[in-house]
Amino acid sequence: MTVDVYDRTSIAYDGRWGNYYLLDELNGFLSHVKDGSRILDAGCGHGRDLVFFGRKGFIPTGIDLSDAMLQTCRKKISISAVSAYLLAADMRILPFTSGSFSGVWCCGSFVHIPPDQHLATLRGFRVVLRREGVLWISIRNLYFPLEHRKVQLFGRGLPYRRQKYGGYIDSKGRYIVCVDRGYLQRLLRTAKFKVIRINEDNEWLNAMSIAK
């Protein structure tokens, strides 16, 4: 259902978010990744960050489940003339061997993964990362007042930890999960990451961690 929404709205999505670079976060992430090494962009969508990594001399691989987003991404790669790998794949079942990447970047996509699959997905990220590799991941902040209200309105009842599937369906029809800092920290630690920092704003939690 969520992926269908992206299939229908990829061009509009790119129009809205195509130049929305999280520069502090991107540069912070890259400062932990060895120059020229391989980066996985999990849920790369339209490819803004994938191309950013390519322009900086890294070797990016993007995966996504939406054909239309991948098509938009492919065009962007060819216009910008960077080299990047792109494939249709689910971040929950990664088709890569262990230690394939020095960095995993997961921007705005993990929000669509149901909580009962969070840990397995992060463990998969850990497997494809080298030791000391870096994971950057963003997820919706439960305490963003608006999100909190939406969870109350559309979720199946708080507290979200007791829900089999937390979150809510947004106005576009996407399934969105919100968590809090403590939950994200515990999740990352359990998946064998050392949390370096979690930047929190009203809407998002942006976590940087290192593979142990």
Ligand X SMILES: C[S@@+](CC[C@H](N)C(=O)[O-])C[C@H]1O[C@@H](n2cnc3c(N)ncnc32)[C@H](O)[C@@H]1O
From the list 78-86, 107-115, 186-194, 199-207, the region that binds ligand X by CB under 6 A is 107-115
Cα separation, 76 vs 210, in Å, equals: 30
Closer to ligand X by Cβ: residue 38 or 48: 48
Is residue 143 close enough to count as binding ligand X by CB under 6 A? no
Closer Cβ to ligand X, 55 or 131, answer by number: 55
Q: Does 107 bind ligand X (CB under 6 A)?
A: yes
Kindly state the smallest distance separating residue 5's Cβ from ligand X, in Å.
Answer: 8
Q: Rg of the chain's alpha carbons, rounded to an integer? A: 16
CB of 108 to ligand X, least distance (A): 4
| Single-letter code of the amino acid located at 124 | G
Q: CA–CA separation, 205 vs 47, rounded Å? A: 21
* Residues recorded for the chain: 212
How many residues touch ligand X under the rule CB under 6 A: the total is 21
- Say whether 129 sits in a helix, a strand or coil: strand
> Using CB atoms, what's the residue nearest to ligand X?
45
Residue 24: C-alpha distances to residues 5, 31, 206 (Å): 29, 11, 11
Of 7-36, which residues contact ligand X (CB under 6 A)?
17
- Smaller CB separation from ligand X, 33 or 194: 33
Smallest distance from ligand X to CB 41, Å: 7
Residue 21 beta carbon to ligand X: minimum distance, rounded to whole angstroms: 10
Q: How far is the CB of 1 from ligand X (least distance, A)?
A: 11
CA atoms within 13 A on the CB side of 188: 28
**Scanning residues 43 to 102, which ones bind ligand X (CB under 6 A)?**
43-45, 48-49, 63-66, 69, 90-92
What contacts 73, CB < 8 A, 6 or more positions away?
44, 45, 46, 47, 50, 62, 64, 86
Q: Is 140 left (phi over 0), alpha (psi -120 to 50) or beta?
A: beta
Query: How far are the Cα atoms of 34, 57, 204 from residue 108, in angstroms, in the given order?
Result: 24, 23, 9
Q: Quick one: which of 28, 108, 114, 115 contacts ligand X (CB under 6 A)?
A: 108
**Min. distance of Cβ 105 from ligand X in angstroms?**
8
- Footprint of ligand X on this chain (CB under 6 A)? 2-3, 6, 17, 43-45, 48-49, 63-66, 69, 90-92, 107-109, 112
